[in-house]
């Protein structure tokens, strides 16, 4: 899937490109984002105002422009050959376990007021992106493993994985994808400073409690600044709760001040939060979460980015469970581009008889008599998702 939206550095702009949105800007100056670039003076003006990257709509541009994604993927492919799900799933499982260990170490250090120093996982986030390039479906399956008492460490890891996939499908260059994955992994570190009675409260927070909860963004940003994390990463972390209508926090930024990375992490953060199991609340289905996010457009979330994210994860996301018309349950292995309701799946369970079956992979796009009836949650059938994927690793 190649999006018509591509991110270009300011020096890569050409006359005839249609600028859809400012992606990165150094100064807080309101700029009219959309329109064709017809004069060199316009590009020079954007530079003067501190614009370093823009989103270009290739479909509205006046001449053919090679999408960045095609160039980047051909360059990355020299080092990272694509591989099968079966070849990548064991590596993805080890990466997921390692990510949880690193995340826990960082949280422990912050809680002890110790310096993070060498523990900051920049190289690890690049390993996540490498895996996404080799085969995104393996790590995407790992995001479906949920432990109720491990939400804090799993959430940031999952946001990092989803952002890496989102950025790649968006057509970003490798450096931007690395930044997104890194910001995702670090974005919620400040929550360890929030008192447990507020962080894990099952009911609605009071106004005073909510003000304390909001401080997690500031806590996290200050920690990252203290250890010299790049200002662009810190900005993305600061923006993961900002909303386009200016009613987000901590700064209440309006839409023209929120970066592209900030808009993307806001979508992914809330998606993973809504679908996560917690001690006091069961996660909702991906479909319901995406519907809620879409209903928040255009006031809270960037509508074209939300629609792109929906295309990116699919109607039935990789790793999610579905009930088939033959009363079998399967997990989604891969999206079929152009046929979102008919993914490739791995059948493993009988819904009628409530027992496991010998696994079988089928492509619903070529199956005449079998189709998806509905998504199902693992708890409905007592399915242990972690054990399910461990079985896939051993096959």
Same domain, 254 and 358: no
Same domain, 279 and 389: no
Instruction: Report which secondary-structure segment, H or E, holds 250.
Output: none
Same domain, 200 and 274: yes
Contact by Cβ (8 Å): 142, 96: yes
pLDDT tens readout for residues 302-338: 998 999 999 999 999 999 999 999 999 999 999 998 8
pTM comes to 0.83
CA angle 331, 356, 328 (to 5 degrees): 50
Strand partners, 278: 281
Same domain, 325 and 306: no
CB atoms near residue 279 (< 10 Å): 11
Same domain, 331 and 362: yes
Q: Is the pLDDT of residue 1 over 50?
A: no
Which domain does 349 fall in, by range? 321-394
Among candidate residues 321, 304, 187, the one with its CA nearest the CA of residue 255:
304
Same domain, 341 and 234: no
Residue 74 lies inside a defined structural domain of this protein = no
Same domain, 240 and 359: no
Domain count, the chain: 3
Residue after which a domain boundary falls, among 313, 331, 363: 313
Same domain, 307 and 333: no
Same domain, 277 and 340: no
Residue 194 lies inside a defined structural domain of this protein = yes
Which pLDDT score, from 0 to 100, does residue 4 have? 65
Q: Is the pLDDT of residue 67 over 70?
A: no
Contact by Cβ (8 Å): 252, 246: yes
Distance CA 233, CA 242 (A): 15
Residue 337 zone, left/alpha/beta (φ > 0; ψ -120 to 50; rest): beta
pLDDT tens readout for residues 371-382: 999 999 999 999
Residue 77 lies inside a defined structural domain of this protein = no
Please state the rounded mean pLDDT for residues 104-124.
Answer: 81
Q: Where are the beta strands (DSSP E) in the chain?
A: 5-9, 18-25, 35-36, 51-57, 321-324, 328-334, 344-350, 355-363, 372-376
Same domain, 309 and 325: no
Which pLDDT score, from 0 to 100, does residue 394 have? 67
Q: Is the pLDDT of residue 9 over 90?
A: no
Which pLDDT score, from 0 to 100, does residue 115 have? 67
User: For residue 305, what is the domain's CATH number?
Assistant: 1.10.3210.10
Strand partners, 344: 334, 363
Q: Is the pLDDT of residue 250 over 90?
A: yes
Residue after which a domain boundary falls, among 266, 292, 313: 313
């Amino acid at each position: 899937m190649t999006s018509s939206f591509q991110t270009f550095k300011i020096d890569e702009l050409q006359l005839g490109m249609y600028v859809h949105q400012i992606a990165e800007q150094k100064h807080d100056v309101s700029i009219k984002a959309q329109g064709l670039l017809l004069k060199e003076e316009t590009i020079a003006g954007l530079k003067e105002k501190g614009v370093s990257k823009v989103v270009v709509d290739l479909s509205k541009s006046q001449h053919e422009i090679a999408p960045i994604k095609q160039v980047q993927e051909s360059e990355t492919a020299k080092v990272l050959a694509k591989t099968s799900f079966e070849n990548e799933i064991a590596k993805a499982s080890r990466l997921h376990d390692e990510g949880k260990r690193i995340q826990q170490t960082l949280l422990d250090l912050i809680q002890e007021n110790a310096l993070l120093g060498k523990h900051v996982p920049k190289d690890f986030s690049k390993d996540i992106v490498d895996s996404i390039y080799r085969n995104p479906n393996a790590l995407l399956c790992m995001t479906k493993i949920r432990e109720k008492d491990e939400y804090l460490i799993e959430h940031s890891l999952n946001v990092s994985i989803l952002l890496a996939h989102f950025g790649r499908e968006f057509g970003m260059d490798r450096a931007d994808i690395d930044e997104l994955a890194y910001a995702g992994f670090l974005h919620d570190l400040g929550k360890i400073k929030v008192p447990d009675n507020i962080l894990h409260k099952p009911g609605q927070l009071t106004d005073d409690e909510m003000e304390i909860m909001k401080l997690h963004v500031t806590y996290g940003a200050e920690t990252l600044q203290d250890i010299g994390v790049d200002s662009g990463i810190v900005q993305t972390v600061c923006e993961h709760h900002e909303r386009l209508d200016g009613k987000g926090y901590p700064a209440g930024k309006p839409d023209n001040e929120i970066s592209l990375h900030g808009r993307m992490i806001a979508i992914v953060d809330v998606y993973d939060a809504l679908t996560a199991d917690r001690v006091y609340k069961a996660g909702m289905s991906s479909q319901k979460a995406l519907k809620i996010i879409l209903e928040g457009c255009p006031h809270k979330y960037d509508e074209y980015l939300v629609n792109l994210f929906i295309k990116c994860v699919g109607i039935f996301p990789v790793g999610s469970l579905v009930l088939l018309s033959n009363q079998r349950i399967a997990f989604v292995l891969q999206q079929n581009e152009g046929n979102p309701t008919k993914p490739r799946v791995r059948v493993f369970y009988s819904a009628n008889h409530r027992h496991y079956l010998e696994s079988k992979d089928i492509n619903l796009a070529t199956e005449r008599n079998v189709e998806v009836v509905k998504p199902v949650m693992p708890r409905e059938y007592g399915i242990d998702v972690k054990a399910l994927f461990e079985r896939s690793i051993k096959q």
